[in-house]
Amino acid sequence: MYVAVKGGERAIANAHRLLEHERRGDRKVPEIGTDQIEQQLSLAVDRVMSEGSLYDRGLASLAIKQARGDLIEAIFLIRAYRTTLPRFGFSVPLDTGAMAIRRRISSTYKDLPGGQVLGPTFDYTHRLLDFALAAEGEPAAPVTAPVDPEERFPRVTDLIAQDDLIERNPPTDPAKPVGDLTREPLAFPAERDLRLQNLARGDEGFLLALGYSTQRGYGRNHPFVGEIRMGEVEVEFEIPELGLTVALGEVTLTECQMVNQFKGSLTEPAKFTRGYGLSFGHCERRAMSMALVDRALRADELSEERTSPAQDEEFVLSHSDNIQATGFVEHLKLPHYVDFQAELALLRQMRRELTSRNTHPEAAE
């Protein structure tokens, strides 16, 4: 039985007003601007854009402010907002090979064309709290160095591919539509395009834990970071009525090319395999985790026995979305008064029956 109840409107309105007050914090402290969030909490912005699956730094900054820094709540706001907008179409696939590199490293080759370029990284910091940041003061301006105009950054995987030592990426099949999770619900088995879309917007913590689990032996795939690159890539869009492909501006992306354990057969020479990670913004941990999980989910395709959670696409893809997850977990907070009354009545009845059996054992026969 469902009993409709009303009430709580005033409590809800007042609670939201109190929430706004708490969000603002001590009013003697200057209010944070969305421009400050965008500029100074840029990696939080990157995460909200990635998992919100919407590239818009201003909106992500606003969402972070509104959510009081609760990033999953901010991602929720972004996902809700995107449903209000029409879709104009699809970009030309982004060319990460033409990226304006701001960071590029490889753990497979020390010397490679373009070199190892660290860019703005937390790597090699000592992870000691910098108390100077608690005081006012500007950091030093970055050092600059001469740029070779001929400088190029070929993909590390292309260098390996020159000797045919690594599998080729699957070619484009123009007849095959690109799967889209935002239009069709996920069905299993899912193809790699849908898996990558799911992982690209998946919860970073979940991807990290699954990627880590493969390293610890739950679906081991012996990864090397062939390359991580971060920088700006031009977005191109076709305007059909003009027959023109035009640039819309640029987005920051992080790409991880994982080079994994080789695969061969009696007839095929062994080759390295690949896992791929791509993320909005500067999200290296996320791109690496995505690449590990992408590779793990290719178990069937590579004739590997599926033994571990990271290789189980139904498990991974069904639980990667933190908005779905938080919705279902948090819905437990909503009134379940009637459900619970039913359970309570059942429990009382069971106990009564037991008591009556114990008091009148012959009656229970």
Partner 1 sequence: MPDAEAARPNPDPRAATMALLARATRKELALPLSAHWPNLAFATIRAPEIGLVMLRGRMGGDGAPFNLGEATVTRAVVELETGERGYGQFLGRDPTRAEQAAILEALAQREADREMVERAVLAPIRQRLQEEAQRKRAETAATRVDFFTLVRAEG
Q: Does 189 sit behind a cis peptide bond, omega within 30 degrees of 0 on the bond before it? A: yes
Binds partner 1 by CB under 8 A, chosen from 12, 15, 19, 92: 92
115 binds partner 1 (CB under 8 A): yes
Q: List residues bridging with 255 in a β-sheet.
A: 229, 278
173 binds partner 1 (CB under 8 A): yes
186 binds partner 1 (CB under 8 A): no
Residues 144-163 within binding reach of partner 1 (CB under 8 A): 144-148, 151, 155, 157
What beta strand segments (E) does 157-270 contain?
A: 224-239, 244-263
DSSP of 127-162? ----GGGGS--PPPPPP-----TT-----HHHHHHH
107 binds partner 1 (CB under 8 A): no
295 binds partner 1 (CB under 8 A): no
Binds partner 1 by CB under 8 A, chosen from 55, 218, 224, 262: 55
Residues 32-51 within binding reach of partner 1 (CB under 8 A): 49-50
Binds partner 1 by CB under 8 A, chosen from 180, 300, 314, 353: 180
Three-state secondary structure call for residue 227? strand
Tokens of 194: 């849908």
232 binds partner 1 (CB under 8 A): yes
Residues 323-362 within binding reach of partner 1 (CB under 8 A): none
321 binds partner 1 (CB under 8 A): no
Report, in Å, the least distance between residue 172 CB and partner 1: 5
- Whole-number Å distance between alpha carbons of 117 and 229: 9
Tokens of 310: 């990271």
Binds partner 1 by CB under 8 A, chosen from 69, 73, 165, 237: 237
CA atoms within 13 A on the CB side of 296: 33
Q: Which is nearer to partner 1, 143 or 332 (CB)?
A: 143
Residues 189-218 within binding reach of partner 1 (CB under 8 A): 192-194, 196-197, 200-201
Q: Which residues contact 364 (CB under 8 A, 6 or more apart)?
A: 356, 357
